[in-house]
Amino acid sequence: MTAAVLTRLTEGRRVTWGAAAVGSLGLLATLLGGWAAPREAAHGYLFAFAYWLSLSLGALIILAAFHAARARWPTVLRRSLEIMAASCPLFALLFVPVALAMPHLFPWVALPSGLSGHDLQLLAHKQPYLNVPFFLGRALLYFAVWGAVGVLLFRWSVRQDAEPGITERAVRITLYQRRLASGALPLMVLCLSFASLDWLMSLEPLWQSTVYALTVGCGAVVGALATVALTAAFARGAGQFGALMGPAHFLRLGTLLLGFVCLWAYCGFSQFLLVWIASLPEEVTWYRARLDGGWIAVAVALAVGHFGVPFFLLLLRRVKQHAGALAAVGAWLLLMRALDVYWLVWPALSPGMATFHWTSATAWAGVGGWTVAAWGLLARGGYTVPVRDPFLPHSLRVPRS
């Protein structure tokens, strides 16, 4: 084994403040856009919020799953997931604009004209669940659960770094992490499931699909893993986690990414096939809104770009083992994630007519800038790997196959 050293992250100050500045500008621009076109800006903001939050939540879920599975190989890349997961509380703040824009977003808040009697009756039936106070209360609960688990897992991991060696206390901290993560995982998944109903599916409150939340969840994990692959390619300075990752780690990361890409496509296709083949009037509206009038191009791009292309690329061992190639696939998938979330959100505003409003871009940059700045702040001054984790040595000499 080489006598490499693990270093604390000292650079990156410029990136952090730059991102914060871009974020503030973007959010300001979106706010101004909201003056002129409130509905478009609200949907653009929701798209950006859902996109960046999904990265953070995907990281939280996969991090907890690693702990629950007692997996050793991901120890080397775990800090990046911990940082992403610990950024959850920021989204509680970023949720405020969504809460304020509710009348522009959700038809069940401000009933649009032209609803039939049957529709009104259905909305009245759903009213015990879909009402503003309960909606806000649930959001509070979700953020409390995710935030508490994400922040605790991160803080324990940082506290472990301060141990003088792999001491008994360090081992105990790992044990606590595993217990908290496995115990909280069911609750976190349930929160994610209902949050996707609240914030995305209820944009069209008369439509429902029971597999929707799983599709969103798998997409979120794809986004998180893609982010890890991308950052690993950048964090290749001496002693940083990208430099410590060998072909074996990238291979496993790539295989996991392939798995979740397939799961995402599987859930999405199951939903489509079942709606298509049963052809019920109350169900097909959702696909009519998302396939007619130009949206079909987005749908096809998703089928090819979010599944077909990465599927075949990630089948290749050479791509998975190569840090740069995997990062390229990751970057591509992050783009596709944006397209996917856009395709989920926007047709609710303009069904059957593909449109784009510039506030989507500014909101994406705004929320994204602040998110990246938060990651930078959390990462700065710390190690990029959990140095005192008892399984770091195992992770570093993980076998090839």
Please, are residues 247 and 324 in contact by the beta-carbon 8 Å criterion?
A: no
Cβ 142 to another protein, closest distance in Å?
Answer: 16
Burial tier of 313 (Cβ tally within 10 Å: 0-12, 13-18, 19+): buried
DSSP code at position 112: P
Output the CA–CA distances (angstroms, integers) from residue 385 to 7, 56, 62, 239, 359, in the order listed: 9, 18, 17, 9, 37
CB count within 10 Å of CB 347 equals: 27
Closer CB to another protein, 25 or 166, in the complex: 166
Cβ 211 to another protein, closest distance in Å?
Answer: 4
Closer CB to another protein, 273 or 304, in the complex: 273
Distance of CA 398 to the CA centre of its chain: 27
Closer CB to another protein, 75 or 350, in the complex: 75
Closer CB to another protein, 1 or 96, in the complex: 1
Cβ 70 to another protein, closest distance in Å?
Answer: 7
State how far the Cα of 40 lies from the Cα of 37, in Å rounded to an integer.
6
- Structure-token pair, residue 70: 């007692």
- Give the dihedral of Cα atoms 124, 129, 134, 136; nearest 10 deg: -100
383 DSSP β-pair partners = 8
Closer CB to another protein, 36 or 238, in the complex: 238
Cβ 171 to another protein, closest distance in Å?
Answer: 5
Which residues are near another protein by CB under 8 A? 1-8, 68, 70, 121-122, 125-126, 129, 166, 171, 174-175, 178, 183, 186, 189-190, 193, 208-214, 239, 255, 262, 266-267, 269-280, 383, 387, 390-394, 396-397, 399, 401
State how far the Cα of 258 lies from the Cα of 256, in Å rounded to an integer.
5
Closer CB to another protein, 3 or 36, in the complex: 3
State how far the Cα of 124 lies from the Cα of 53, in Å rounded to an integer.
30
Cβ 398 to another protein, closest distance in Å?
Answer: 9
Cβ 125 to another protein, closest distance in Å?
Answer: 4
Closer CB to another protein, 116 or 401, in the complex: 401
Cβ 212 to another protein, closest distance in Å?
Answer: 7
CB count within 10 Å of CB 93 equals: 10
